[in-house]
Structure 1
């Protein structure tokens, strides 16, 4: 990748092995990856190729066996649990396939949750997010009262409310029909561009991957 922008994420020779049924499974075998500021990157690969594992390692939700992950000048692989939690709270946005909203909180409070605990709540930005995501009429509802597409919009709004440096999205449209998936991804692309944050999105859809700035493929534990 050739770019004049700063590199916000650098993954170098990352490895991860699991044991399954008593056998060693080399999920990642030396992954190298760089993402520039503001770049939107799609990551595809066969089922079980390690896509989600790679995102979890970048987010500090799991530990690599070897290799390095540098994010915005911070070595993720050298951080303790408290440092990783602070990084996820302040600098990373996380969006998953299964929404992970807090069922006891209203849409309004779910949207504000991360930015409030990070001490970076911006009422004006949250109001703009709410309008852009089409959620203004649903603020007093609870997650169970929303459609799948609406719940994913809340999850995206919550992640972007903190204005993260990097948004990690793991199959964010996997539970949505094609039309809703297109709509949600288009909104995500626009909002990511507006905030200036980078995006790394795992997707099984080559069609959706083609709408981002760059498409990389994980195969046999390596970036092809």
Structure 2
């Protein structure tokens, strides 16, 4: 039983639909001019097996929302519930365990480990979480275009290749929730399309949920639903 399952059992709840529920989420940051409200009451939900594209201008709060859902920052108000567990009720170490066990994260920075090869970077998070699957690892290497390049190091890769490794690393744990912040921003269109196909395939195969922040309306249209973050709230695209 994982940490998140134990928390659900202790609270008398069970993981249930929706897989992710966000309600009344608010977040502000201090500035020299006073508090800057970034999120002003965000509500969203994701069912298992569903994908959602989050559109919005730069600075609209897309990255902030993903950070909060990932438990990398604390909310000012509102709730984030993942598989029946309120993230606000978890200590920092417990939130880290939830990320390790249930969440795959792809942000704009690659954050690869320079001393590890492509294969070892790809497997790193899955091994730490105790979820390494050799067959899935080999499939990721192939579908991300790294067959024969497994022994290369990050400094020997292009920016686009490094982003593909970062995406594969997040997918390697077969997460219940996959969060991606502009995951194809550094990729050419063909590679970006393949990466998105891979992510959507995982959602279908594992019953996970997929939340992707993107500027691309073309890519957003391939997901099940689309919403736009504007003036701190979610609106129709």
Which SS does the other structure have where 1:15 is aligned? strand
Paired residues of 1:149 and 1:184 also in contact (CA < 8 A): no
Counterpart for residue 139 of structure 1: 150
Which SS does the other structure have where 1:7 is aligned? coil
Distance apart, 1:192 and its partner CA: 3.2
Counterpart for residue 105 of structure 2: 94
Unaligned runs of 5+ in 2: 1-15
213-222 or 17-26: which moved more? Answer: 17-26
Change (3 A) 1:36 1:74: same
Counterpart for residue 187 of structure 2: 176
Distance apart, 1:41 and its partner CA: 0.6
1:116-127, aligned counterparts within 5 Å? 116-127=127-138
Distance apart, 1:178 and its partner CA: 3.2
Distance apart, 1:146 and its partner CA: 1.5
Deviation per residue, 1:15-67 (Å, 9 max, x gap): 00112223221100111000010111100112111110000000011010010
**Number of aligned residues:** 220
Q: Does 1:24 align with 2:42?
A: no
The TM-score with structure 1 as length reference comes to 0.93
Paired residues of 1:89 and 1:118 also in contact (CA < 8 A): yes
Matches of 1:151 and 1:6 in 2, distance apart?
A: 35
Paired residues of 2:171 and 2:199 also in contact (CA < 8 A): no
Distance apart, 1:132 and its partner CA: 2.1
Unaligned runs of 5+ in 1: none
Counterpart for residue 13 of structure 2: none
For residue 228 of structure 2, the aligned residue among 197, 200, 217 is 217
Q: Does 1:71 align with 2:79?
A: no
CA RMSD of aligned residues (A): 1.5
Matches of 2:64 and 2:214 in 1, distance apart?
A: 13
Q: Does 1:199 align with 2:210?
A: yes
Change (3 A) 1:124 1:178: closer
Matches of 1:50 and 1:106 in 2, distance apart?
A: 34
The TM-score with structure 2 as length reference comes to 0.88
Counterpart for residue 8 of structure 2: none
Distance apart, 1:102 and its partner CA: 1.1
Change (3 A) 1:14 1:88: same
Matches of 1:84 and 1:127 in 2, distance apart?
A: 29
Counterpart for residue 173 of structure 2: 162
Distance apart, 1:133 and its partner CA: 1.9
Deviation per residue, 1:123-153 (Å, 9 max, x gap): 1221222222221211100112112232222
